[in-house]
Structure 1
């Protein structure tokens, strides 16, 4: 079956639809596939619509109770089985050729609820859950046995699947995460952002370098290590931007005066302003496979300073990033100081980042790899 006749259902039941989903759907549609994004009601407003593919909101993540509460969890679980059964009926009616899941959030149930009679692909954005509930790890392994193919974004992740989890190597396919260039203004990375910075950040003069740590705040992201490393760096600003998914009071207590926090959800049209202003993007993660923040920085051609974890060294091999050992605050401090003192080094990293975004991490190439996988399953 040719890619022009494939009907693809890309399924993401998570609480909000990541930009990865929209970028992949758009690239598959440009390559000639008939693509539908099947997703949830968006937690922060209407689900974004793209060009060239349909969007269906089949999962209902509106639930009572406070975030993280037992009431909220019980309500979501009660919704989940009807949601998955509705999805199976929808896929039959739409005559999809492939169902490509981006997340499966209730693994012990999902292994029994996946659609039948069509190929199922699962993207392993996280090879295993980082904060697993009882029984979740074993259920994740059973899911890998149940699906027809697994996409992973790095050779590091593929090695874990094949070795640590003993997944059939024939099922494992390394397809990169793409550069998230949908956040870049139409005129390019240097064009005016569609929405300005918050006033308290816009007041920072261009003469002072800004280091950006962006994304949801979680313990594994090593922000505490970054704040320790930042001590003694007085001639620049550190901006920690993103919605907290942890107690941030200890982080505020660690922070020197030249650290600014924007602790909230950041809308898509705000992202460009933060990356436009950044002179260096730092991701001091303790663990990861790959990161959407990293691929946003690539799209903006920003120099990167990364922990040497997961698939990060594979991106650094393109010349787009410097690496430090994870959890090593002194090494991170030295690398920050060196890069802040060397604009030419930052320029070289940034140029390599933009080249990587246009080359191995371009969406059109990723779409071709993904379509070849779908075709192999027919």
Structure 2
């Protein structure tokens, strides 16, 4: 009997989750697995190796129509897996709410073994139902995966010991297989309408309070004439007017380039290749896909000194600043902006680390013992 595994991912393209799914399934396919991705995309990495079917809409709204699509898509995905005799499904878990509870219950109804990847081990909205969380982790997930020691330690504090016993730490992989880091900076900037002679810092990803864009705007230096900021991403339960008011009050309008929208893969490639460094001013994080994306491009990083960030940037691969400390962030931005040699060193070390410690080929082998 051939080895088979599937991922059911209703977030997919909307949140950039498909990068993770495609890279993991591609690596498992290279280990001899027949792999399936049921999501909201129709094509992706190595389609000859991964069976990709669209079972969900791009954007599942939180209303009756969205709920109907979610349930229908999940049932259809499970039927496809059962038809192809796939017994194990991998699921991305970002919150312990009624949505994953319903989806996971359908998985169990179809008799699937569930490997749950807990990306955010608790919701940053602080509104999780403890009973729902415990039920999801204890009854609906057979094996729990977290990405670092910080997330594991957090779960140890809030979940029963029997759930911790079935929890393993497996790293989040890098993104070198799905990015184009060969676009020259000059070409990328021309495509985006950026100035060739300016030093650009990049803020990339969903815009929400925990991501700390307000901290970055308050810390961004105004006394370095050729230092500008690119902000790229779409607000999530947040109003961009809050940030626009800071931009205006600090007279940063002429120093900021805004891409406030969903960012396509082509635009992402151009943004990362156009920037000189990236800033991650997060207030809270359990694991940052943006950080690993930046390292995959070889883009120098400034990040808040949160435990999850420090676990990755633990050998001088970037600059850390004291979390929520505007003055310290200002200092680190100036340091990175003024030292091209330092940026080149961080870029080189980041790529080395991604290739040596965050390779999907290695990560996939850790999943094999769980899938079997």
TM-score > 0.5, shorter chain as reference: yes
Taking a change above 3 Å as real, the CA distance of residues 181 and 333 of structure 1, as seen in their structure-2 partners, is same
Q: Select which of 174, 179, 184 maps to 2:169.
A: 174
Taking a change above 3 Å as real, the CA distance of residues 227 and 108 of structure 1, as seen in their structure-2 partners, is same
Using the TM superposition, name which of 74-83 and 232-241 deviates more.
74-83
- By how many angstroms is 1:138 displaced? 3.2
Taking a change above 3 Å as real, the CA distance of residues 166 and 327 of structure 1, as seen in their structure-2 partners, is farther
Q: Select which of 63, 70, 73 maps to 2:63.
A: 73
2:27 maps to 27
After superposition, the C-alpha distances for 1:300-352 in whole angstroms (9 at most, x for unaligned) are: 11111111224111111143222112211111001111121222222221111
2:228 maps to 237
1:262 maps to 259
Contact 2:26–2:45 (8 Å) recurs in 1: no
2:278 maps to 281
2:10 maps to 13
1:305 maps to 302
RMSD, matched Cα: 2.5
1:109 paired to 2:102: yes
- By how many angstroms is 1:98 displaced? 1.3
1:205 paired to 2:196: yes
Taking a change above 3 Å as real, the CA distance of residues 15 and 297 of structure 1, as seen in their structure-2 partners, is closer
Q: Select which of 93, 117, 125 maps to 2:119.
A: 125
- By how many angstroms is 1:29 displaced? 1.0
Contact 2:88–2:371 (8 Å) recurs in 1: yes
After superposition, the C-alpha distances for 1:204-251 in whole angstroms (9 at most, x for unaligned) are: 124x21111111211110000000000434231111111222211121
- By how many angstroms is 1:62 displaced? 6.3
Q: Select which of 155, 160, 163 maps to 1:161.
A: 155
1:90 maps to 80
Contact 1:234–1:258 (8 Å) recurs in 2: no
Taking a change above 3 Å as real, the CA distance of residues 60 and 203 of structure 1, as seen in their structure-2 partners, is closer
SS across alignment from 1:359: helix
Using the TM superposition, name which of 50-59 and 327-336 deviates more.
50-59
* Alpha-carbon distance in structure 1 between the residues aligned to 2:275 and 2:362: 28
Bigger helix share: 2
- By how many angstroms is 1:28 displaced? 1.2
- By how many angstroms is 1:164 displaced? 2.6
* Alpha-carbon distance in structure 1 between the residues aligned to 2:120 and 2:84: 29
Contact 1:14–1:103 (8 Å) recurs in 2: no
Using the TM superposition, name which of 234-243 and 53-62 deviates more.
53-62
Contact 1:128–1:137 (8 Å) recurs in 2: no
- Runs (4 or more) in structure 1 with deviation over 6 Å come to none
**Unaligned runs of at least 5 residues, structure 2:** none
After superposition, the C-alpha distances for 1:28-68 in whole angstroms (9 at most, x for unaligned) are: 1112211101113x4xxx553533110122234666xxx6x
Matches within 5 A, 1:331-346: 331-346=328-343
- By how many angstroms is 1:196 displaced? 4.2
After superposition, the C-alpha distances for 1:116-173 in whole angstroms (9 at most, x for unaligned) are: 534210001111222366x645323311112111111111111111223335332111
- By how many angstroms is 1:191 displaced? 4.0
- By how many angstroms is 1:267 displaced? 0.8
